[in-house]
Amino acid sequence: MKRLSLAVTALALLVSACGPTVTEPRLGPDGKPLPQVYRLGFGEQSRVQFRMLDAVNALRASNGLTQVQLSAELNAAAATHSRDMAVQNRPWHFGSDGSSPVDRVRRVGYNGRLEGEAISETFETELETLGAWMNETATREVILDPDANDMGFDYFQEDGGKIWWTLVMGSQRAPQAVSEATPAVTFGQG
């Protein structure tokens, strides 16, 4: 009987070891779970870029807009700015040399028009970052710009895990015409 009891206990321990391990999330001083580091491995750049492209195009389609395509030039401008923001240790639209987004897209040889740029400093994934951008009016307007047909997207990840994201939207075609149903908006002094 003692052997049977020992065998059942051993079997129970073996079965319980096969089940999912539940670990409690680490909590910060505010009682909220600490962010998990999203590690981007070597060679993931194109996968991340195409995941973002697919997500942006799904959002654009759901808003009745045309799809955008990845532009090698805009990807290069985004990569340069992501790395430069990390060097400066601040998320902003100007380069350490004083360059603007327009300057950066010209430097990489993009012949179209810059429509806008979205940036972020975070530990979040690219899709979580896109969600945050869609919750802000200014960055949502960049992503959903009806004139955009090109997109650049890249990142720089620091050793500690912080990711600097840059999304650039551009257009190689003339802006969409204003229909007669849409009144033109002009700005002037009144």
Per-residue pLDDT tens over the stretch 114-147? 999 999 998 888 999 999 999 999 999 999 999 9
In what side-by-side order are the strands of the sheet with 150-157?
69-70, 150-157, 163-171, 113-122
pTM comes to: 0.72
pLDDT at 25: 65
pLDDT in tens, 153-182: 999 999 988 999 999 999 997 555 443 333
Contacts of 75 (CB under 8 A, 6+ apart): 49, 152, 153, 154
Work out the number of other CB atoms within 10 angstroms of the CB of residue 23: 6
Residue 10 confidence (pLDDT)? 46
Name the β-bridge partners of 122.
163
pLDDT value at residue 31: 82
Q: Nearest 5°: phi and psi at 149? A: -135, -5
Distances (CA, A) of 166 to 23, 26, 65, 73, 84: 34, 29, 21, 13, 11
Mean predicted confidence (pLDDT) in 58-79: 97
CA 105 centroid distance within chain: 19
The confidence score (pLDDT) of residue 92 equals 83
**pLDDT band per the 50, 70, 90 thresholds, residue 8:** very low
For residues 66 and 16, the model is more confident at 66
H helices of the chain, in order, are 2-18, 45-62, 72-88, 101-107, 126-134, 137-143
- Map residue 157 onto helix, strand or coil: strand
Q: How far apart are CA 184 and CA 182, in angstroms?
A: 6
Minimal CA–CA distance to 151: which of 66, 60, 36, 68?
68
Q: pLDDT value at position 100? A: 95
Rounded distance, CA 117 to CA 101, Å?
A: 7
pLDDT in tens, 13-65: 444 444 444 456 677 788 877 666 666 667 778 899 999 999 999 999 999 99
- Predicted confidence at residue 190, as pLDDT, reads 33
Q: Specify the pLDDT at position 171.
A: 97
